[in-house]
Amino acid sequence: MKNVKVKCPGTVANLVCGFDILGMALHEPNDIMRFKLLDEPKVVIINKDEFNLPTEPEKNVAGVVLLSIMEKLGDNTGFEVEIEKHIKPGSGIGSSAASAAGAAVGANHLLGNIFSNDEIVQFAMNGEKLASGVKHADNIAPCILGGVTLIRSIHPLDIIPIPSPDLYVTVVHPQIEVRTADARQILRKQVLLKDAIRQWGNIAGLVTGFLKNDHDLIGRSLEDVIIEPVRSILIPGFNEIKSKCKEAGALGGGISGSGPSVFMLSKNEATAKATEQVMKDVYDRLGIEYNTYVTTINKKGVEIVSGE
Ligand code: ADP
């Protein structure tokens, strides 16, 4: 195979109580990436969008992933990649993870699927390290595998896909900047035992709710007593959006990734759309520009669209 086109989904990481360990893939938005094999050991990046991301391979998430694959191969293989980004960088819906995961899956496909899923996740995590300074997989894993995933451990890598109900997801991306570094820095380093107990009760409840298709249990468990109370101060309107979306029928939700996007889960499309309207009303009133998505959980992950 000489070239391949892949579709890389946006993802919601830090799934409320599941900070750093639970993530899910979305049907919308998606990046598109096109890859070509080169017979010289180099990476060529061509941007097909308006985001002006770096084209030097060492500074672009996709480039870093491809370089790490080339290092592993140790031969004369190289890659050209065209990136058409629709997931805005810094949105909190896994823009860097889409490029990292897409690069690992696209390259693996061109090479004849020589790597395992765990190896693909490992390559892709090199890209996340460039974007956020730490190797984490809670966007990468759902982006590659689809659905909801639990990252039980990074060392050693232990990723568990969790079957989930067909829920609707409403996302609002207020056009403000929340730097991932700032969002990490304001977190407390220690937690109270009573908060930890409440949090792990919620994580167990959320996972059980997904497995048993129990919407009420999912709703009750979508509570974060550790991260959200601190981080939400970086997101204007957060508390109002959350309480009004729940009044409109949403099961619950929270900050997507490290923000500024906020997501809500709903049982059906009508509620997901009512939730979207609540988000729009709040940001219209606050005079903050935004994008919204009403979508569903993507069970497939990165998809090979075509190749020849
Ligand atoms: P998100 O949660 O939306 O991925 P991050 O802040 O984690 O946002 O990552 C975005 C950062 O990574 C930006 O600083 C951006 O310039 C950088 N970056 C480098 N290459 C890429 C890429 N291919 N896609 C997205 N972001 C990239």
Q: Measuring CA to CA, which residue among 143, 107, 145 is closest to residue 4?
A: 107
Q: Whose CA is nearest to atom 20 of ligand 1?
A: 60
pLDDT at position 308 over 70 = no
Architecture category of domain 3-162+298-307 in CATH: 2-Layer Sandwich (3.30)
Residues 207-233: what's their mean pLDDT?
97
Q: Which of 28, 80, 119, 180 is catalytic?
A: 180
Q: What percentage of the chain carries pLDDT values higher than 70?
A: 99
Strand pairing report for 22-38 and 3-12? antiparallel
CATH class of 168-296: alpha beta
pLDDT tens digits, one per residue of 228-287:
999 999 999 999 999 999 999 999 999 999 999 999 999 999 999 999 999 999 999 999
Return the percent helix, strand and coil in the chain, to nearest 5. 40, 25, 35
Q: What is the structure's pLDDT at 164?
A: 87
Lowest model confidence (mean pLDDT) among 95-104, 177-186, 196-205, 221-230:
177-186
Residues 278-300: what's their mean pLDDT?
98
Could you tell me the distance, in angstroms and rounded to a whole number, from the CA of residue 271 to the centre of ligand 1?
A: 31
Could you tell me the distance, in angstroms and rounded to a whole number, from the CA of residue 95 to the centre of ligand 1?
A: 6
Q: What is the structure's pLDDT at 181?
A: 74
Q: Look up 303 and say whether it is catalytic.
A: no
Q: Read off the pLDDT band of 134 (50, 70, 90).
A: confident
Element (H, E) at 100: helix 95-110
Residues 179-184: what's their mean pLDDT?
80
Could you tell me the distance, in angstroms and rounded to a whole number, from the CA of residue 97 to the centre of ligand 1?
A: 8
Q: Coil, strand or helix: which one is 275? A: helix
Would you state the structure tokens that stand for residue 8, as one six-digit string?
């890389």
> Any idea where the domains of the chain sit in the sequence?
3-162+298-307, 168-296
pLDDT tens digits, one per residue of 16-49:
999 999 999 999 999 999 999 999 999 999 999 9
Q: What is the structure's pLDDT at 135?
A: 82
Q: What is the structure's pLDDT at 3?
A: 92
Which atom of ligand 1 lies at the shortest distance from residue 132's CA?
7
Could you tell me the distance, in angstroms and rounded to a whole number, from the CA of residue 56 to the centre of ligand 1?
A: 14
Could you tell me the distance, in angstroms and rounded to a whole number, from the CA of residue 98 to the centre of ligand 1?
A: 9
pLDDT tens digits, one per residue of 48-101:
999 999 999 999 999 999 999 999 999 999 999 999 999 999 999 999 999 999
The residue to mutate among 96, 135, 234, 256, having the most atoms of ligand 1 within 8 angstroms of its beta carbon, is 96
pLDDT at position 185 over 70 = yes
Q: How many angstroms separate the CA atoms of 191 and 198, rounded?
A: 11
Backbone CA torsion sign across 43, 77, 32, 280? negative
Q: What percentage of the chain carries pLDDT values higher than 90?
A: 92
Which residues surround ligand 1 with Cβ inside 6 Å?
Answer: 53, 60-62, 83, 89-97, 99, 131-132, 180, 257
Q: What is the structure's pLDDT at 184?
A: 83
Residues 139-165: what's their mean pLDDT?
96
Q: Whose CA is nearest to atom 15 of ligand 1?
A: 89
Which atom of ligand 1 lies at the shortest distance from residue 94's CA?
4
The domains spanning 3-162+298-307 and 168-296 adopt the same CATH topology: no
What are the beta bridge partners of residue 293?
171
Q: Look up 128 and say whether it is catalytic.
A: yes
